[in-house]
Copies of this chain bind each other. A is one copy, B any other.
């Protein structure tokens, strides 16, 4: 039961914790939030939603409910109302029987345990991006521990790449070496990024700890899960 993917689960629960959404919209946001060009396919998303419903972590409600805001608001570039000849005065129900998903109490609790866990699963390659995207819902201590874990992981990778490059220095041709060099650069680039983030988080913690209470309203919204 704990073998399930966890990353998709976390992403969905995290997004739904910000606002109830239907599947189609959820998929788009999943793409946007991660800077992923390649969005998740429906063939993955809908079965995942069904599983979450079965686990009692989310509820599925037929569209009448009308989701909090989006999909009808700011989509059509500036125009407030279509106002064309067809009967557009139908209320926001819209299109087809949308199914709006919302977190249950269990779901919120489960999300909280997921977001509080700062173990290897949080900073490995496949998981880190999603966990980072949900830092807004993660408490400051956990954020810092995940960043530090990620930093260590990257340092390990860096050493592995360097060692691999050294081992095959003579054997490898020009292009292979160039590829290794660039691979190394990428890791170094991410290390720099993480270092900046860690410094930023430390500064945040310091100012929140009462030394210089410059911007106290900057701390995350859900320290104890709202």
Contacts and interface: CB of A to CB of B under 8 A. Distances in A.
Interface residues of A, number: 37
Contact of A32 (B31, B168, B193): B168
Interface of A: 31-37, 129, 132-136, 157, 160-161, 164-165, 167-168, 172-176, 178-180, 182-186, 189-190, 193, 197
Nearest 8 A/B pairs, CB to CB? A35-B183, A135-B175, A136-B173, A35-B180, A37-B160, A32-B168, A32-B164, A33-B176
B32 A179 contact: no
A129 B32 contact: no
Given A185-B189, A189-B186, A197-B178, A33 B136 contact: no
Given A35-B165, A157-B37, A186-B186, A179 B133 contact: yes
Nearest to A129: B179
Contacts of A172: 32-33
A223 to B, nearest CB: 15
A12 to B, nearest CB: 15
17 contacts: A32-B168, A33-B176, A34-B179, A35-B183, A36-B183, A37-B161, A37-B164, A129-B179, A132-B175, A133-B176, A134-B175, A135-B175, A136-B173, A136-B174, A182-B193, A186-B186, A189-B189
Nearest to A35: B183
Nearest to A221: B173
A132 B173 CA distance: 11
Given A189-B185, A189-B186, A189-B189, A164 B35 contact: yes
